[in-house]
């Protein structure tokens, strides 16, 4: 079960290691009304945050698209971020903890320590690995 990503259309979406490189919102626009808020487009990170609470309870998750694989990875990242924030007593400590999490070395598929072996393919080239690392850096900042 679980909630699946709405980004199932893979036409025109580039991938690195089988992971879709989906566009992220670059600016946070404050809508003036509730109607505008409903029409606002979301990105995969917004979707992961929205579905986090429900998806965290599922022991198994059958993915239907490569965007679902990315949703699984982002759910893990959100969980890791929340664990880092547990011990923080102030907003400044929390910000510092999250910034440090974003600065840590990124473990990519095929490397020891990647949390989901087999979920994504190992990079076929240095360029493929670089694209995945760059996309991960953008989504964590």
CA distance 20 to 7: 10
pTM of structure = 0.74
Neighbours of 11 (CB within 10 A): 4
Is the separation of the CB atoms in 13 and 61 below 8 Å? no
Confidence of residue 33 (pLDDT cuts 50, 70, 90): very low
Q: How many domains, the chain?
A: 1
Q: Does a structural domain hold residue 74? A: yes
- CATH classification of the domain holding 72: 1.10.1760.10
Q: Does a structural domain hold residue 1? A: no
Q: Does a structural domain hold residue 9? A: no
Q: Does a structural domain hold residue 5? A: no
pLDDT score of 121: 84
pLDDT score of 135: 59
Hey, what are 52's tokens?
């986090």
Total residue count of the chain as it appears in this document = 141
CA distance 103 to 98: 9
pLDDT score of 36: 46
83 phi and psi angles, rounded to 5 deg? -65, -40
Tens digit of each residue's pLDDT (9 = 90 or more) over 76-132: 889 999 999 998 999 999 999 999 998 888 788 888 888 888 888 888 888 877 777
Q: Does a structural domain hold residue 3? A: no
Is the separation of the CB atoms in 68 and 19 below 8 Å? no
Q: Which residues pair with 15 in a beta bridge?
A: 20
Lowest model confidence (mean pLDDT) among 25-39, 57-71, 99-113, 114-128: 25-39
pLDDT score of 26: 64
């Amino acid at each position: 079960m679980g909630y699946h990503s709405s980004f199932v259309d893979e036409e025109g979406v580039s991938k690195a290691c089988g992971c879709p490189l989906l566009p992220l919102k670059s600016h946070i626009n404050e809508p003036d009304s509730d109607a505008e808020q409903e029409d606002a487009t979301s990105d995969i990170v917004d979707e992961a945050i929205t579905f986090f609470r429900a998806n965290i309870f599922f022991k198994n998750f059958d993915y239907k698209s490569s965007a679902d694989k990315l949703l699984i990875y982002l759910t893990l990242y959100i969980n890791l971020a929340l664990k880092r924030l547990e011990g923080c007593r102030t907003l400044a400590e929390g910000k510092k903890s999250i910034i440090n999490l974003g600065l840590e070395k990124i473990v990519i598929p095929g490397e020891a320590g990647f949390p989901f072996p087999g979920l994504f393919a190992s990079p076929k080239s240095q360029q493929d690995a670089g694209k995945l690392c760059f996309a991960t850096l953008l989504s964590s900042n």
